[in-house]
Chains A and B, each alone.
Chain A
Amino acid sequence: MLFINHLNAIKVLSIKSGLTHLGKYVMLMGRVLSQPDRWRMFLKQYVTEMYQLGYNSIGIVLIISFFIGAVICLQIKLNIQSPWMPRMVVGYTTREIMLLEFSSSIMCLILAGKVGSNIASEIGTMRITQQIDALDIMGVNSANYLILPKIVGLMTIMPILVTLSVAAGILGAYATSLLGTTTVPELTEGFRYQFNQWFFWCGMIKAVVYAFIITSVSAYKGYTVEGGSVEVGKSSTDAVVTSSILVLFSDIFLTNMLT
């Protein structure tokens, strides 16, 4: 009985704290999504952020996608090999998996780790070293100045990263032909088979939505840090965990809505 009471108390508390976070997050976004004080400064930050968050992630995206493309191709070949199955199925399935799930959702999940912790620790450090207070005192909208360029920057660059990821995955699949498991014409036929352009756009839409979730949630975690370096570290872990979970949740909704 006592245990159940205890459980209920925890439930009530966690719902309450969840709602508090949601409220604070919405209020912060209200400040973020407003007109920049100076467009010139916004554009400067925007370009920097695209470089920092996007350009610097190209390497990891290409490497991971290349190998995953190759592995998916090999696995499918191994698992569905049978005389009744047309040979182009391997290419077709690889393409669908990359396009629909891996390059958009899983890739963004990986980037949530890289980009999310980066954003939360950068903004969190600015908070505890009073750099954000300094901005506020100057009459600068600190939330807008610091966070908006990150959100817009990653939303711009994420679709490009996803496209690169699909391309690298397909290259990886082609690379398996070097091992002799598949042949290039077979794969090409599969890649071309019943191509539905809408699926590509689904990936793009997902990418943009995830980019917003990752940047805004991580920025929120960093912006609301109180305390010292330990709290900054915690906020950066929180940022990755929370944005990953939210990406996975929205994946279900988006997949359901878009296809």
Chain B
Amino acid sequence: MIKVEHLYKSFDDKEVLKDINATFRDGEVNLIIGQSGSGKTVLMKNIVGLLTPTKGSIYYDNRDFVSLSKREKILLRREMGMIFQSAALFDSMSVLDNVMFPLDMFSYDAYEDRKKRALECLARVNLQGAENKFPGEISGGMQKRVAIARAIVLQPKYLFCDEPNSGLDPKTSIVIDELIAGITHEDKITTIVNTHDMNSVMGIGENITFICEGKAEWQGNNKEIMDATNKKLEDFIFASDILRQAKELHDQQQRMNRN
């Protein structure tokens, strides 16, 4: 479980995060949603330690991340996997070398075992046969899948995904979402996903934190979100006509059920 308490972050005099409180549960897909520029990426970077919070605490299963020593932080990081908005694959290495990299760095297994493990992970994201290609030669969706394989190769306890389906078509987005959800449930990982894609929210949102202008406005799951009464959340979610109509249908149904 990851817990964020009274987290503040400002750049110079610009306050981006204001008093964020949130809990991210084990074995569930925890979503952080919010408009572009609301501070999702900044929040995630604070949680993983790429940025240092101005104020506040972050607990990884009761280990206070901010006050850990440098050495302890590095050890904790080996329990994390992260998928960046831009995939961030090492472009000088082949797909297989990318996935094997964490193993090469931290595992003492023989080469054959490491390779076997990497190929297993590539198979898990349906990328058999692409291991000798380079990141520049594969599509964006495939790059994201390689990034997932690289993030899970060391069997992390915590998985972070910053907009895993930005720039992908709706169908591929769903494939990626389901991959992430499947891995999370099978391996009991604490997964945090940043997104503003409503398909993801409705599809895999088991624990959703809504951020608006740097404040955590609402927390709940994808069933509760339909009935949420928070004005800012409604404005964000039901921005499109289709979703507004879905909401109306949903409300009608609720009323009928009550009568």
Contacts and interface: CB of A to CB of B under 8 A. Distances in A.
Interface of A: 37-38, 40-41, 126, 129-131, 133-134, 136-141
Given A38-B104, A41-B104, A139-B106, A131 B90 contact: yes
B82 A137 contact: yes
Given A139-B75, A139-B77, A133 B84 contact: yes
Contacts of A38: 104-106
Contacts of B88: 129-131, 133-134
Contact of A139 (B78, B91, B101): B78
Contacts of A40: 104
B74 interface: yes
A136 B52 CA distance: 14
Interface of B is mostly: mixed
| Complex A-B, nearest 10 residue pairs according to Cβ-Cβ distance, in ascending order | A139-B77, A130-B88, A134-B88, A139-B78, A137-B82, A139-B74, A130-B84, A131-B88, A138-B102, A133-B50
Contacts of A138: 77-78, 80, 101-102, 105-106
Interface centre among A37, A40, A138, by most B CB within 10 Å? Answer: A138
Contacts of B104: 38, 40-41
Contacts of A141: 74
Nearest to B150: A134
Given A41-B105, A134-B82, 18 more contacts: A41-B104, A129-B88, A130-B86, A131-B88, A131-B89, A131-B90, A131-B91, A134-B84, A136-B50, A137-B48, A137-B50, A137-B77, A137-B82, A138-B77, A138-B101, A138-B102, A139-B74, A139-B75
A101 to B, nearest CB: 36
A136 B82 CA distance: 10
A141 B80 CA distance: 15
Contacts of B50: 133, 136-137
Interface in B73-98: 74-78, 80-82, 84-86, 88-91
Interface residues of B, number: 23
Interface of B: 48, 50, 74-78, 80-82, 84-86, 88-91, 101-102, 104-106, 160
Contacts of A136: 50, 77
A37 B102 CA distance: 11
B143 to A, nearest CB: 11
Contacts of B101: 138
Nearest to A122: B92
Nearest to B107: A38
B90 A37 contact: no
B219 to A, nearest CB: 25
19 contacts: A37-B105, A38-B104, A41-B104, A126-B90, A129-B88, A130-B85, A131-B89, A134-B88, A137-B48, A137-B80, A137-B81, A137-B82, A138-B78, A138-B102, A138-B105, A139-B74, A139-B76, A139-B77, A140-B105
B101 to A, nearest CB: 8
A80 to B, nearest CB: 51
Interface centre among A131, A139, A141, by most B CB within 10 Å? Answer: A139
Contacts of B76: 139
Interface centre among B101, B105, B106, by most A CB within 10 Å? Answer: B105
Contacts of A41: 104-105
A242 to B, nearest CB: 25
A138 B101 CA distance: 10
Contacts of A129: 86, 88, 91
Contacts of A133: 50, 84, 88
A55 to B, nearest CB: 17
A5 to B, nearest CB: 26
Contacts of B84: 130, 133-134
Contacts of B74: 139, 141
A34 to B, nearest CB: 11
A37 B48 CA distance: 20
